Structure 1
Amino acid sequence: MQEFHLHLVSDSTGETLQAMAKAALVQFEKAAPVEHVWSMTRNLRQIDDILDSIEQNPGLVLFTLVNKEMRRTLEKGCRKLKVPCVSILDPVMAAFSRYLGQESRGLPGRQHTLNQEYFERIEALNYTMAHDDGQLTHELNEADVVLVGVSRTSKTPTSFYLAHRGIKTANVPIVPDCPLPDTLFHLTRPLVIGLTTSPERLSQIRKNRLLTLKETQETDYVNMERIKEEVIAARKMCTKNGWPVIDVTRRSVEETAAQIITLFNRRQTGRSVSL
């Protein structure tokens, strides 16, 4: 592995930088970055401290700074240290500026302003926490999205990812010999989506789950034939009710959520949500 120092300098939380760095690094399988995250950088004294650290640990510098003086100081210092220094948002900001015919406002952390969108996201998170794993099913009609699926099909992590995007999400497990809440079949507001996966993958995930709980006894929960029956029955139920189904076997939570958001947006605009 090629280990290197990666300095991420931001005048806000640094989330944008970290996400973009992560997206780029997955294309370099032998790269092993040692990350130095410098968030909430708002004055020149902080820049001096950062440059001292870069001098001690030379490496690639990525930054999002809107203050021109701070940018110049960081770039000048990096040139002196002979390390690459890249403003990752410049091309995007320039494109917006040209297209809109406006200059950017140059205010740090504007994406984290306490606006209506922020409070809607908090509301979505609160709702999703309260309606995880089949809780409070009498309130399902208040959701934007309801996920259904057999155990260990990533319903909970997907729900919380969607909630962070401002989508109120509930999830209901499909458990053998346990009837689903009647309210699920009479929803008028939410988009109901089934999550499924391959029986082989599901069996392995469930076995690992039992190991973490120090359970060694074989049960129907990990029996391959019973798992196949569960998966088939769940898919049939989704088809019967006209609920789109997403196979998460080879999908990350982010990829699954992206497809759900696409279906949700189609529904909001009155278009078909079939896969």
Structure 2
Amino acid sequence: MLENKRGIIYVISDSLGETGELVAKAGKIQFNTSISDIKRFPFVLEKEQIDEILYEAKEDNSIVVYTLVVPEMKEYMRNKCDEYGIPAIDVIGPVIDALRLMTKKEPLYEAGLNRRLDADYFKKVEAIEFAVKYDDGKDSRGIKKADVILLGISRTSKTPLSMYLAHKNVKVANIPLVPEVDPPKELFEPIKGKIIGLTNDPDKLNHIRIERLKALGLDYTANYANMERILNELDYAEKLFHKLRCPVINVSTKAIEETASIVLSIIREGEQL
């Protein structure tokens, strides 16, 4: 008998169906094991798809939770559920109706608007992937492709700044500066991007590096945190910045957002030249 079968919730959506599934889960949790499953059917845009799903649902002890916005599809869903005797819940319809009364405007009735991806989204994703690929000097070829090339010794906020700028759709490559390692030759060749140096105060670098070593369980008296070593690295970086004639930002008293704002200003100034 159907009444002895554990129930199944069918979630049907013209988008991903996440909203309907969350509502179904919120209801299901109140009934312990009485409901066996939630089946989600995303991107249901044709009546034939509704037919196929409900043909299966009518054989189960089921209810339908749906998030459809196109009126014709909603009506078809209601009629079919009535025909098969399947209880159906329109999750988003009452919200749209209430908003229509409040705004005195007609909704767009377009499926999947909350998931529509615009060009800006793809630019952001591309910039984030770029920042990851060309982080910490992994591949110097990124210098030729980047909008901004950040140079600095260890613990000058190169990586967090790169990721923050990536979320502003800026492609960033960052290069660590080490006195014993020659800088990439691409820095001295014609490039489209803007080279920017990052520096920090010696005392702050000393403190940050000691804490970093402690966090890694390493000897905090190692050469990495030695003040003489830090001063040597800063001197090396300063000479390279001078050679490249690039702007330099001291990050010692600046939040990432503030440093990023300065970088964006430098980019805009360069575009106006």
- Equivalent residue in structure 1 for 2:145, among 124, 142, 163: 142
State the distance in 1 between where 2:234 and 2:219 align.
Answer: 23
SS at match of 1:216: coil
Identical residues among aligned pairs (%): 37
Structure 2 unaligned regions, length at least 5? 1-17, 24-95
Change (3 A) 1:173 1:117: same
Length, aligned pairs only? 181
Moved over 6 A (4+): 109-112
Change (3 A) 1:125 1:212: same
Change (3 A) 1:118 1:224: same
| Cα distance, 1:70 vs structure 2 | 5.5
Corresponding position of 2:249: 246
| Cα distance, 1:41 vs structure 2 | 9.6
Corresponding position of 2:3: none
State the distance in 2 between where 1:118 and 1:144 align.
Answer: 18
Task: Work out whether residues 140 and 187 of structure 1, in 8 Å CA contact, stay in contact via their aligned partners in 2.
Answer: no
Corresponding position of 1:163: 166
1:6-17 counterparts in 2 under 5 A? none
Corresponding position of 1:184: 187
Change (3 A) 1:68 1:223: farther
State the distance in 1 between where 2:206 and 2:271 align.
Answer: 36
| Cα distance, 1:217 vs structure 2 | 5.2
Change (3 A) 1:112 1:186: farther
State the distance in 2 between where 1:232 and 1:106 align.
Answer: 61
| Cα distance, 1:247 vs structure 2 | 0.4
Task: Work out whether residues 193 and 246 of structure 1, in 8 Å CA contact, stay in contact via their aligned partners in 2.
Answer: yes
Residue 199 in structure 1 maps to residue 202 in structure 2 = yes
| Cα distance, 1:161 vs structure 2 | 0.3
Change (3 A) 1:175 1:71: farther
Change (3 A) 1:217 1:183: same
| Cα distance, 1:187 vs structure 2 | 3.8
Task: Work out whether residues 210 and 220 of structure 2, in 8 Å CA contact, stay in contact via their aligned partners in 1.
Answer: no
1:1-275 counterparts in 2 under 5 A? 69=98, 113-216=116-219, 218-270=221-273
State the distance in 2 between where 1:154 and 1:71 align.
Answer: 48
Which amino acid in structure 2 is aligned with residue 201 of structure 1? Answer: K
State the distance in 2 between where 1:112 and 1:154 align.
Answer: 33
| Cα distance, 1:269 vs structure 2 | 2.0
| Cα distance, 1:176 vs structure 2 | 2.1
Corresponding position of 1:83: none
State the distance in 1 between where 2:264 and 2:98 align.
Answer: 40
Which amino acid in structure 2 is aligned with residue 179 of structure 1? Answer: D
RMSD: 3.2
| Cα distance, 1:113 vs structure 2 | 4.8
TM-score, normalised to structure 1, is 0.58
CA deviations on 1:159-194 (whole Å, 9 max, x unpaired) are 000001100000000012111111122142110100
CA deviations on 1:202-235 (whole Å, 9 max, x unpaired) are 0111111101110025222111122112112212
| Cα distance, 1:112 vs structure 2 | 7.9
Which amino acid in structure 1 is aligned with residue 197 of structure 2? Answer: G
Structure 1 unaligned regions, length at least 5? 1-39, 46-66, 74-102, 271-275
Which amino acid in structure 1 is aligned with residue 156 of structure 2? Answer: T
